[in-house]
Amino acid sequence: MALRHYPEPRHRHVGMTLIEQIMVLAIVAVLTSMAVPPMRSLLARNRLQAAQMDFIAALQHARGTAIMSGRRTLFCPTHDGNSCSDAMRWDSGWLLGHDTDGDRQPDHGALYVGSGYAGKLTILSSVGRHYVRFRPDGSARGSNITLLFCQVGNAEHALSVVVSNAGRVRGAPASASQAATCAQTD
């Protein structure tokens, strides 16, 4: 039996043409432009939830510290990380420390200092209540305090953290009026 020899093809197509590459880039550009706005919204919502959880954990830590140490523990906004400020804004940071003398300042320095969200989020406390002081029994006498969390100038997805007189800490979505107040603050 004789072997047949078939001629090999002269040109094999390898790779992609310029037009195919341009089409792939155009499709990728369209899909990316469609995905970016929802991704920004998702990241903004995630940043708010992370800040809310950060405050809930810090407040629960402050309450636990008061109970375990048997001393009043203060949770307050700070600008310098050493002393409490009387501001309603908490974006610059917060601290917790023992306050046995009742002067609304930490005795012998802060036990814990939290970083701020300045320029990223707006964090406000309720009118008339600028700090939380947990007693050795875990309660937080005074009026309830509500902390509001929103994007700078944007009320969408605003959240809140509430500390009751009994010392319980809970997070919740902000009401429409709370969200509007938070977003209007500069």
**pLDDT per position as a tens digit, 65-85:** 999 999 999 999 998 888 888
Task: Note whether residue 29 is domain-resident.
Answer: no
Give the domain CATH number at 110: 3.55.40.10
Which of 36-40, 101-105, 119-123, 162-166 shows the lowest mean pLDDT across its residues? 36-40
Task: Note whether residue 105 is domain-resident.
Answer: yes
Task: Note whether residue 26 is domain-resident.
Answer: no
Q: What is the CA radius of gyration of the chain?
A: 28
Task: Note whether residue 25 is domain-resident.
Answer: no
Model pLDDT for residues 21-34, shown as the tens digit of each residue: 888 888 988 888 88
Going by pLDDT thresholds of 50, 70 and 90, the confidence category of residue 152 is confident
3-state per-residue secondary structure call for 157-178: EEEEEEECCCCCEEEEECCHHH
Task: Note whether residue 5 is domain-resident.
Answer: no
Task: Note whether residue 179 is domain-resident.
Answer: yes
Task: Note whether residue 76 is domain-resident.
Answer: yes
Query: Quick one: average pLDDT of 116-136?
Result: 85
Task: Note whether residue 52 is domain-resident.
Answer: yes
Q: How many domains does the chain have?
A: 1
Domain ranges, residue 99: 38-184
Q: What is the pLDDT of residue 156?
A: 82
